[in-house]
Amino acid sequence: MRTRGLRRLALPMCLAALLCCGPAGAGAETAGPLTYGLTPKQVASDTYVFEGSTKHFTRANGGNILNSGFIVTADGVIVIQTGPSRRYGEEMRAAIRRITAKPIRKVFVSNLHPDYWLGNQAYRDVPIAALPGTIAGIEEEGKGIADNMYRLVGDWMRGTEVTLPTEPVHGSTVRFGDHVLRLIPLHGHTAADLMILDETTGVLFTGGVVFCGRTPTTPHATIADWLSELDEVDRLDIRLLVPNHGHVRADKACVAQTRDWLTWLDGALRHAADSGLDMAEALELPIPERFAGLDVLREEYRRSVAHLWPAIERELLPRVE
């Protein structure tokens, strides 16, 4: 909060410096303008992905750790996720404009985590659709989520404000021009996870349900439900899987990878709690070698200990009178 306040103060002061001293004042800027350099990659017919980093939110990547995307239909452009900041959303929209002159028809937001929707401001003139649970989650936690992003990535967030999705959606199959999209409502990774399967191209945007080469995040997770979500993905007939975090792949290998991680994580923490370990000790449990290829492994594991341990402990410690 303090940094935001300082930023508000700093901006008029910079302007004042420019006005009084001319171009020399611009030298006070230590770096050039921040830019994500978003470049869409075509992954299927009419379908593009902006591939992000597999790291955590940092001041170096500005929060660009997601794979947002868009589908150019005959009835306009469908946007999937709006990114971690207003700046990202605006850059993304400009990059889409360079691919097609068609208007944005609709935006979909898959869950309440910051990188999915903090770019919503760039799409205020079009419907922004999300599951009711996602909208409720952003209403409740959005301000805290935005504040934390300012803390984590700093100036990239400038001007970003909580902007709620405008249209609740449910499980359905919808046609946009020549593309038929199946909206699949699930819960497990968060309390409301929206997957979008383009039945026309076979591209599945999994949102946070599948991670690929990147350690899954669990701040709103219920592991048992998440495993059921993965079973759901296994039942789908798809040609390309676009996870929100990690690598785009033509197979379902990362469904198994996500399942393997979650199963190990839950089992290891339960075993540790049942064997007398404290939560602080659990932070240092060894992680099996087979997960060494997952990015931000130890860091994300430790976050998961914070998310999952208290409930496991509450469940396993016996009540005494």
Partner 1 sequence: MRMALLVAGMVGTLPLGVPAVAAPVPRQADPLGSVMWEAVRDQYFGDAPVVFDDAVRVIAPAAAEDTRAVPLAVDATALDGVVEMLAIADLNPFPLVLRYHPGTSAPAFATRIKVQQATAVRGAARTADGVWHVSGMLVDAAGGGCSAPPVSYAQKDWADHVGEVQARLWPAGQDGIARLRMRIRHPNDTGLVDGIPAYFIETLSVRAETAGGTPELARIDSLEPVSENPVYTLDVRPPPGATALILHGRDNQGGEIRATIPMPPTGAQPAMSRMRDPRRSIGQ
Q: Which residues bind partner 1 (CB under 8 A)?
A: 1, 147-148, 151, 219, 271-272, 275-287, 298, 302-303, 305-307, 309-310, 313-314, 317-321
Query: Is the separation of the CB atoms in 77 and 162 below 8 Å?
Result: no
HSE on the CB side for 143, CA within 13 Å?
3
Q: Which is nearer to partner 1, 45 or 222 (CB)?
A: 222
Shortest Cβ 316–partner 1 spacing (Å): 8
Q: What is the DSSP string of 130-186?
A: E-HHHHHHHHHHHHHHHHHHHHHHGGGGTT------SEE--SEEEEETTEEEEEEEE
Q: Which is nearer to partner 1, 37 or 318 (CB)?
A: 318
**Could you tell me the smallest distance in angstroms from the CB atom of residue 118 to partner 1?**
16
Of the candidates 297, 318, 272, the residue with the CA atom closest to the CA atom of residue 56: 297
* Residue 110 token pair: 């898959």
Which residue number, 51 or 300, has a Cβ lying nearer to partner 1?
Answer: 300
Q: Which is nearer to partner 1, 71 or 153 (by Cβ)?
A: 153
Task: Residue 59: name the closest of 134, 133, 139, 157 by CA.
Answer: 157
In whole angstroms, how close is the CB of 161 to partner 1 at the nearest point?
18
Cα gap 161→212, rounded to integer Å:
30
Phi, psi (deg, nearest 5) at residue 305: -60, -45
89/216 with CB nearer partner 1: 216
Task: Kindly state the smallest distance separating residue 284's Cβ from partner 1, in Å.
Answer: 5
Q: How far is the CB of 166 from partner 1 (least distance, A)?
A: 28
